[in-house]
Amino acid sequence: MAQQSELELDPVTITASVQPKPVSQTGRNIITFKGSSFNNLPVHSVDELLRYLPGVEMQMRGPMGSQSDIVLRGGTFQQVLIMLDGVRINDPNTGHFSSYIPIAPAEIERIEVLKGASSAIYGSEAVGGVVHIITKSFAARRKQQKLQLQGQVSGGEYDLFSGNVGGLYQSGNTAISGGFLSNNTDGQLQRGTRGYVHANTASLSANHFINEQWQVAARVAYDNRDFSAQNFYTTFLSDTAREEVRTVWTQLRVSYSGVDHKVNIDAGYKDVKDDYAYNKVSIANASTSRMFQVIATDEWKLSQQTSMVSGVQFINKEISSNDRGDHQVPQGGAFILINHSFLQGFTINPALRLDWNERSGTELIPQISMAYRYNSIRFRGSAGKTIRDADFTERFNNYNKPSVASGRIGNPDLAAERSFSYEAGADYFVGAALKIGATFFQRYHRKLIDYVTTPYADMPRKDNLVAGGTYALAKNIAKVNTTGAELDIQYQRKFQKNSNLYAGAGLVWLNSKSSELTPSFYVSSHARFMSNFFVEYTYHRFLISVNGIYKNRATQDAPAIHAVVEKDYFVFNARAAFYTWEQKMNIFVRVDNITNTRYSDLLGAQMPGRWLTGGVSFAFSR
């Protein structure tokens, strides 16, 4: 059991170096979470789960998967790359859709969160880090016999009905998995409206090993979110918005594995329809975005100490919108990564990418990571360049309307962001159950893209604007420098047959300085200090789990809608369960926001108060 616990504190990751490699050899700070614990914690959706992983900041606009912005190390929400089984799912329309991950919880094998610069391998968006979802079917191995089923049904206040079900079946060389997640509620009362949510996700995948060398895997998924979006994007009194986002996702993988050689070809296609109505009398913004991508990687084991990964990637992004117009942007890249071990416990991982974007041209992106493990301590460090091009909303928001009296205005002349990041840290393994990691990091940004309040007279384009209107223009900020430190704690221990503890906690301190005299929207919204945690404890027939978050940030207010972002808040949730059938089925109650704290992550988007629910959960495997 001690060996297994140590393995889970230093798991094999594919995110930092593409090929499977222990975290301690990557030189990176990586948090790994077991997908099997989703039903054991007081969470309803994947974005709520991410909120309590050490060091991950979720700027939530609503509950249960309505909408959340993902922030790592004080970047903006567009600076985090989200991946599903090796393929990016960030939407070209806007980073606000990044938390709409088209996967049912029952399919999740694990979640890997890589903190820090990763553009040398993954290209654009991998600035603050990478959130990588690895699923059970795509992670399946040859010649195994498995059956895993899990599900949960719950109900509660505000006409809440929530359910998720799914699992994996593998017979020999074929694995099939699928699942369904549904969250529905009339919502709590907000400013004259209710924060309703109807969120449904269905996914199905299969993996087949043709023989010892060849493997093929495929997935199809459908995701639909219909929710109240009042003051999600504005602080105007007339905002009573609603929004519906529908996603169709398909992906395909073909792999060849030799003795010292492996080739992967991954393809993905995403189609997203977004309908946003500011209020009942406004014409809805109707946008359809599409993204097609292909990535091929070639892994070689050159010697016992050295391996090499090379890859090429092509992405085509397009949008058709009555608000943003019709646009298309192709981009591509090629990269090479070396993994080399020498001496005792020392590894070095240099990487170089050549990236091309039709708008921003060609760019060389270097990065290097190093790690050294001495007994129970792992020292690590990394430095690298990052890039990010503007999305379609930042370039064309409100551009195609006949008249715009106020709001956020896109800027088609935005240049690509560039930054240089470095970090240094250490991990201490206390026995086989506890890992403590500390990291110091800095990021130097140039031309960072964010919205800045801009007078009508200073707007570069006034064609459809109204004199005297209130506007926020997407701009390139000359310099934004971020300094920070983070502490991550992971604990996992099995005490006896029916007693175990699984926990994680994170602390993050950040300081961002901007050259812009007027504070920009999203750079100033991240937490200056944040602590989050989760604890899951099982003792015979009882399961108790809690999670929580504390944030300290800059205060904001919007008197017109009586909205305030307080200096700090603390929210925690709890779940208590009693097993009726061994440790396979339980009856539970849960309380969200136990202290009934009134808070917002983003100005105007009020989060729910105390919420009581209960239900039945099961998990079965053989």
Residue pLDDT, tens place only, 388-411: 999 999 999 999 999 998 889 999
CA atoms of 186 and 369, how far apart (whole Å): 48
- Please report which confidence band the pLDDT of residue 8 belongs to, taking 50, 70 and 90 as the band edges: low
**Maximum Cα–Cα distance across the chain:** 71
Q: How confident is the model at residue 7 (pLDDT cuts 50, 70, 90)?
A: very low
**For the chain, percent of residues with pLDDT exceeding 70:** 99
Tens digits of per-residue pLDDT, 71-120? 999 988 999 999 999 999 999 999 999 999 999 999 999 999 999 999 99
Average pLDDT over every residue of 227-252: 96
What tokens does 566 get? 């307080």
Residue 348's Cα: distance from chain center in Å?
27
Q: What is the pLDDT of residue 4?
A: 44
**The pLDDT of residue 3:** 40
508-527 pLDDT per residue, tens = 999 999 888 877 887 888 99
CATH of the domain at 486: 2.40.170.20
Q: In what order do the strands lie in the sheet with 80-84?
A: 29-34, 108-115, 129-135, 80-84, 87-88
Nearest to 540 by CA among 502, 575, 496: 496
Confidence class for position 9, pLDDT limits 50, 70, 90: confident
> Tell me: the pLDDT tens digits for 174-224?
999 999 999 999 999 999 999 999 999 999 999 999 999 999 999 999 999
Contact status, residue 466 vs residue 40, Cβ threshold 8 Å: no
**Spatial distance between the Cα atoms of 418 and 400, rounded to a whole number of angstroms:** 29
Mean pLDDT over 409-431 rounds to: 95
Total number of domains in the chain: 1
Q: What is the pLDDT of residues 164-178, one digit of tens each?
A: 999 999 999 999 999
Report whether 76 contacts 88 (CB < 8 A).
no
Average pLDDT (488-507) is 91
Find the length of the chain.
622
Average pLDDT estimate for 274-299: 96
What is the rounded average pLDDT for all residues in the chain?
94
pLDDT grade, residue 144 (50/70/90)? Answer: very high
Distance between CA 341 and CA 331 in Å, rounded?
A: 33
**Percentage of residues in the chain with pLDDT exceeding 90?**
86
Structure confidence at residue 385 (pLDDT): 96
Of 332, 478, 317, residue with least CA distance to 396:
317
**Domain of 164?**
2-621
Q: Taking CA 21 as the corner, what is the angle to CA 20 and CA 25, rounded to the nearest 5 degrees? A: 165
User: Phi/psi of residue 39, each to 5°?
Assistant: -75, -10
Q: CA 53 to CA 70: how far, in whole Å?
A: 12
- Alpha carbons 262 and 340: distance in angstroms, whole number: 18
Residue listed under structure tokens 């792992």: 378
| Neighbour-count burial for 97-108, b at 16+ CB within 10 Å, e otherwise | bbbbbbbbbbbb
